[in-house]
Each structure stands twice: as structure tokens, then as C-alpha cells.
Amino acid sequence: MKKIEAIIRPEKLETVVDKLSQLGYSGLHYTEIQGHGRQKGIKEVFRGREYDVHYIPKIKIEIITIDEQAEKIIETIVNTAQTGQIGDGKIFVSEITDVIRIRTKERGEQAV
């Protein structure tokens, strides 16, 4: 099993979720986060004054899936969230050793 964590632009959330739902991947969690990558934030101009914005709003999507579906999910997120601009985000993939569904006590792939 894999855990896919995708950091994307907030305006891409609905599009990514809709595309994943169309493909049958409906189970996910998302969190509103803030941070920065290599660019170390951005400069904004408001009422003629320039401000440094160190932490940029992002969305973190977390999906647990079986190994066979992971690559298709990653491909879908990349193709849907990509703008070609700095700040498009990143995807992290981790191994999951076990999953337990609390309600039924199922374990492993049956719990996903």
C-alpha cells in the first residue's frame, strides 16, 4: 500500500478532486497548509507598497491506496494540478505497512 501526499495550489483542489472522483478514487483527506519552497515566499504589491509574503497558502491532499492504483493517481494529480509555474507543488509517496478500519477491525487492503 502507498500513501500519496500532494501539495497543490488551493485553486486546483476542486479540479483534482473531481478528476479523481471521475476515475473512481473518492477516498482522500485534505488540509489547508502554508509554506514555501525554493522561492522562499513571494512579493505582493498592495496599495502601492511591496510586501514580502513568506508563507504561501497550499492544500495537502492525502490518499492511501493499493500499490496497483498509485501510479494512476499520481499521474492524474500531476496532469490536473500542473500550471507550469513555480509553486505548482510536490507529491510525496510513502510505503504503508498496515491499515486498520476501526469500525470493522479489517486490516490491510480490505481496510483501504
**pLDDT at residue 60, rounded to an integer:** 98
pTM value is 0.86
Domain that holds residue 67: 2-111
**How do beta strands 56-65 and 49-53 pair?**
unpaired
Dihedral, 28, 29, 35, 37 alpha carbons, nearest 10: -10
Residue with cell 471521475: 22
Domain count, the chain: 1
- Amino acid identity of residue 79, one-letter, is N
The per-residue pLDDT for range 76-88, each reduced to its tens digit, is: 999 999 999 988 9
The per-residue pLDDT for range 37-96, each reduced to its tens digit, is: 777 766 677 777 877 777 889 999 999 999 999 999 999 999 999 999 988 999 999 999
HEC secondary structure over 57-83: EEEEEEEEECHHHHHHHHHHHHHHHCC
| CATH number of the structural domain spanning residue 32 | 3.30.70.120
CA distance 99 to 38: 34
